[in-house]
Amino acid sequence: MLKKKKHLDLQQLPEHVVLSILCRLPVKSLIRFTCVSKRWRYVIISDHQFGNSHFQLAASQLRHNVLISRSPDYISEGTQFQSLEDNFSIKNLTCPFQRCSTIQVMGSCNGLVVLANFHPNVLSYWPCCLRDRYNILVMRNPSTGFFRKIPYPNFQIGSKKWTLEYKKIQVYYGFGQVSASDDYKLVVILNYGGFMEVRVFSVRANCWKVVKAPYLSPYRPWSEELGTYSNGAIHWVSLHEPGFLEPPVYAFDLANEEFREMPLPVLSHNEYGMKMTQTRTPVLLGGCLCVMFQDAEKNSEFWAMKEYGLPESWVKLFGFKLRDLPDVFNSFFSVFFWNPIFIAEDGTVVIKVPSKMEVIRFKCRKEEKPVCTDRYRLEELLPCKDDNDPCNHKKKYLFSAILYDETLVSIPE
């Protein structure tokens, strides 16, 4: 008579053994296991120490997804979230805010994403309206559903007498980790024509503080609102202007809470006096700081700083001409308004093209033309259900796309 096979019951093992086994399992499996018991659910979703241990063990094998948020240009619908996975399959995510709201993504680090909820009818950038514009800040893990509210910062820049000279505020932000202290920090910067106010929120201290800011020329704004996190700092790149030297990268060190400038590489096409029309700092999988350039002749180059902080360590990864991807860049708007989401050293590039409402992945090698491998197009929405209503036509919406890692990282209150 055959003996029945005995199945291993993890719940009968010592807890430290169970945790050691669970730490080595993929995130998707662990999310399914949250229904085993209340204890397992707490450990997997909310245990900060377990999340960090799992992240450290899985750091080299993380799944890199793209978080897509889309906000219609009318108020009857709220922002929707989707996760675009590495095989370009799509998964709908729940929204932590009320339906009639527009949500802005303010940064991503180790699987945690900072979201800001603001009302679309607040169009002014005046400081008195900033509380209404960003009335809720939330730190969220899209993989587990974990979220934690962040208190709103009290900006004082509006009380300065010179404020009246600059009626529009430029808002910059970024989010990242201080590894030495296991802290996460959110940086929000208001720029009034060169006069800046910098606020930094420490998750560990659960409070905001004011940081001394450099003076910037009002005619040299940064290329993007969202800064790039790399090597413990948030990075923005200054826009290029004729008659000036190449724009530097401005880095905000999260540990020391100080700004510094970093030079950009010397571009091959700059030897011929060509002017840049785009400069971006995308994420390079592996942690190196990266920059992307595009000139007036539609040449694009990607560079990586192999040793952080050393200007001589800039290395050109690859480059291409936009005409080599005619099915992607086939209009004026798609040529000049596209942003890299992330790049990899094997030549994989994932970009968003807002004018076409698409996320596109292509492969680019040094001596070969790039090849489009995957693309995902967001569906247009119908604002009306009445077929006889003249407004019943498809309307586009704003969307953002940012890289996030699939982790179990959470932050205790």
Pick from 90-94, 261-265, 295-299, 399-403: least confident: 295-299
- What does the domain layout of the chain look like in residue ranges? 15-61, 62-405
pLDDT band (50, 70, 90) for residue 240: low
pLDDT band (50, 70, 90) for residue 19: confident
Q: What is the pLDDT of residue 107?
A: 93
Sign of the dihedral defined by the CA atoms of residues 121, 126, 130, 132, in that order: negative
If you average pLDDT over each of 8-12, 20-24, 99-103, which comes out highest? 20-24
Helix residue ranges per DSSP H, 83-222:
127-133
Residue whose entry in the numeric block shows the structure tokens 């240009």: 73
Kindly report, residue by residue over 201-223, the tens digit of the pLDDT: 999 999 999 988 776 655 567 77
Three-state DSSP state, 409: coil
pLDDT band (50, 70, 90) for residue 14: confident
Q: What is the pLDDT of residue 327?
A: 75
Q: Distance of CA 364 to CAs 37, 176, 302, 317, 371, Å?
A: 47, 29, 10, 10, 7
Token digits for 272? 């011929």
Name the β-bridge partners of 319: 301
**pLDDT, averaged across the chain:** 78
Q: What is the pLDDT of residue 371?
A: 87
Q: What is the pLDDT of residue 207?
A: 92
Kindly report, residue by residue over 325-338, the tens digit of the pLDDT: 777 777 655 666 78
d(CA 210, CA 201): 9
Strands 233-237 and 228-230: antiparallel
Q: What is the pLDDT of residue 268?
A: 59
Instruction: Check if the beta carbon of residue 139 is closer than 8 Å to that of residue 147.
Output: yes
Task: Measure CA 243 to chain center.
Answer: 32
Token digits for 128? 């008195």
User: For 140-153, what is the mean pLDDT?
Assistant: 89
Q: Distance of CA 343 to CAs 235, 287, 400, Å?
A: 16, 11, 17
**In sequence order, what are the residues at sequence separation of 6 or more whose Cβ sits closer than 8 angstroms to the Cβ of residue 59?**
none
d(CA 222, CA 208): 23
Pick from 215-224, 233-242, 323-332, 368-377: least confident: 215-224
Which phi and psi (to 5°) does residue 46 adopt? -120, -10
d(CA 286, CA 342): 11
Token digits for 42? 């707490």
If you average pLDDT over each of 103-107, 124-128, 269-273, 323-327, which comes out highest? 103-107
Q: Distance of CA 177 to CAs 97, 185, 366, Å?
A: 25, 6, 33
Instruction: Check if the beta carbon of residue 137 is closer than 8 Å to that of residue 115.
Output: yes
Instruction: Check if the beta carbon of residue 81 is closer than 8 Å to that of residue 142.
Output: yes
Instruction: Check if the beta carbon of residue 303 is closer than 8 Å to that of residue 284.
Output: no
Sign of the dihedral defined by the CA atoms of residues 345, 346, 352, 356, in that order: positive
pLDDT at 61 over 70: yes
* Cα separation of the two ends of the chain: 57
pLDDT at 185 over 80: yes
Which phi and psi (to 5°) does residue 190 adopt? -105, 130
Q: What is the pLDDT of residue 7?
A: 52
Task: Measure CA 348 to chain center.
Answer: 18
pLDDT at 158 over 80: no
User: For 44-71, what is the mean pLDDT?
Assistant: 86
Name the β-bridge partners of 331: none
Token digits for 11? 């719940």
Q: What is the pLDDT of residue 59?
A: 74
Q: What is the pLDDT of residue 157?
A: 56
H/E stretch holding 42 reads helix 38-46
pLDDT at 148 over 70: yes
Q: What is the pLDDT of residue 218?
A: 55
pLDDT at 121 over 50: no
The CATH class that applies to domain 62-405 reads: mainly beta
**In sequence order, what are the residues at sequence separation of 6 or more whose Cβ sits closer than 8 angstroms to the Cβ of residue 121?**
75
C-alpha atoms less than 13 angstroms from C-alpha of 193 in its C-beta half-sphere:
9
Q: What is the pLDDT of residue 234?
A: 94
Query: pTM for this one?
Result: 0.84
**In sequence order, what are the residues at sequence separation of 6 or more whose Cβ sits closer than 8 angstroms to the Cβ of residue 50?**
19, 22, 23, 43, 44, 408
Three-state DSSP state, 376: strand
